[in-house]
Chains A and B, each alone.
Chain A
């Protein structure tokens, strides 16, 4: 287990290093190493200023944000699937992505509070408002996992409609294209403060989820059994749902709504490492990080100079990989 984790971390580091070398400007792994050592103050190796800027200001923060987003969306999916006992649950089930979209278009198209908040701030606020609405609706409908899911579906539809309405009624073609590109997920122009924000939020999230790994296991046979195993069901579920909402809202506000990762990677991790959350949480985080770094790198270079929205890439690369795992680990008929 420890070996696997260490191996996973090495894989993440290697993926980030390799991803940085990809792109129109020629950068070698040696360049990457030199730039890193220079900036960490461990060496003073002469590197061309352009290469230094490409590695340190552009590709490295982008790769690290991709890793954090993959890890964060992955664990959010794993936690939601356990808490709601639904294999189709994903981080966006609770209206978060559609709420974020609405928030982003209200800022980006209508210009409300735009100078203060920016698209990201609007998305973050929209995501949390949608989540609050979902929890309120679920509460009014009497609670329970199925009510949470239904309330999430209803809110997702509502906010999608609001987003479309704002775009249809108020946006011109350029604004529409900009917002749509952002909504599909994009790591263009990610900066170091974005990296720091995502890394801190995701690291805290992983730590909390690991602390609750046994509680998440206890939910496998439903609320009644979880309660009889000593879990304060209502408190733990609400707390962890709020945690996933905060992680997802933060990531969406930086990267846009990257689909597929949170839905499918937890299943891939479960196939490979079993359903126990003490292993599943770190495994999902590592697989998610490696997966997103590569998908982002590929979407960046595949159709250059036009970048592919990373959300499109996740599905195009991820679905075949997932089908392969699904077929190889199929259940006995």
Chain B
């Protein structure tokens, strides 16, 4: 059993942002949420994390409806790394990671102080931040901040990890490091991603969203075809398999339909 969405629908500010999506990740797998900007990836993650309630359909955790659980019960199983989570507080990395222990605490003090210390140390080690534990947040680079958020989520000791475009603003090396870390973790991860090659490399399965609807789902090889990329993203792509058996997506600049290519006379500026 795990975190599941069954036919969820969500209107946000009058607009339909998630339209009848079903998601049933197998335990321990890494699922990629793909789709262009505004296709509903972040909204679906918010429904899965329980910070938004679906208008119809249900999200369940181990078979129990999310809205019947307390926030703390959810937080003990599901951790979230959202976009744009920044702070003005002069907080140290270790204290950021320690936030992840909050769901495991009582109102006063903590259930197990030693367990807290261990979990924080482990999370710092997993994310390569042990040496930076005493640095202040405002001295970290974008990549280090993202890793600190992941460490905070790991300290939560979740079974499910929801990540919203975690590779944004990271250089290639950090993108690869971060996603291999997430894929290695013994948790079920749902990751919203823009980069189709990263999705093909690290995800066991991908779901493609288009205007709130799930239009394709399956292994990256089944889903990421030139036709689908053209239809959903409006971009020409060549999809191949390299000599090591990995899926690669190459994008072609220019309009989708070659016959509609602009002639110099169509230029929007006067010649």
Contact = CB atoms under 8 A, between A and B. Distances in A.
B139 A332 contact: yes
Nearest to A86: B88
A136 B96 CA distance: 33
Contacts of A215: 102
- Chain A CB count within 10 A is highest, among B71, B80, B86, B87, for B71
A270 B100 CA distance: 21
A276 B96 CA distance: 10
Given A214-B105, A218-B102, A229-B75, A270 B90 contact: yes
A220 B138 contact: no
- Chain B CB count within 10 A is highest, among A220, A229, A231, for A229
Interface in A81-128: 85, 87
Interface string A210-222: 1110110110111
A306 interface: no
B86 A217 contact: no
B49 A228 contact: yes
Contacts of A222: 85, 87
A144 interface: no
Interface in B210-226: none
A87 B95 contact: no
Interface string A251-291: 00000000000000000001000111000000000000000
B99 A275 contact: no
B82 A230 contact: no
A211 B107 CA distance: 5
A222 B87 CA distance: 8
Nearest to A207: B108
Nearest to A231: B71
Interface residues of A, number: 26
Interface in A162-206: none
- Chain A CB count within 10 A is highest, among B50, B91, B99, B138, for B99
B76 interface: yes
Contacts of B138: 331
B193 to A, nearest CB: 19
B235 to A, nearest CB: 30
B72 A224 contact: no
A225 interface: yes
Pairs of residues from A and B, 7 with the lowest C-beta to C-beta distance, nearest first? A230-B75, A228-B80, A230-B72, A230-B103, A221-B85, A227-B51, A229-B102
B119 to A, nearest CB: 14
Contacts of A87: 88
Interface string B43-86: 00010011100000000000000000011111110111010011
A87 B88 CA distance: 8
Contact of A274 (B50, B88, B95): B95
Contacts of B107: 211-212, 214
Contacts, number: 80
Given A224-B82, A230-B71, A218 B99 contact: yes
17 contacts: A217-B102, A220-B87, A220-B89, A220-B91, A221-B96, A221-B99, A221-B149, A225-B85, A225-B99, A229-B102, A230-B70, A230-B73, A230-B102, A274-B92, A275-B91, A275-B95, A331-B138
Contacts of B74: 230
Contacts of B167: none
Contact of A229 (B87, B88, B92, B156): B156
A232 interface: yes
Contact of B108 (A211, A217, A224, A231): A211
A34 B105 CA distance: 46
Nearest to B105: A214
Contacts of A270: 89-90
A228 B95 contact: no
A229 B51 contact: no
A225 B81 CA distance: 8
Contacts of A275: 89-91, 95
A72 B129 CA distance: 38
A169 to B, nearest CB: 43
A232 B85 contact: no
Contacts of B51: 224, 227-228
A308 to B, nearest CB: 34
A222 B88 CA distance: 11
A62 to B, nearest CB: 34
- Chain A CB count within 10 A is highest, among B74, B76, B89, for B89
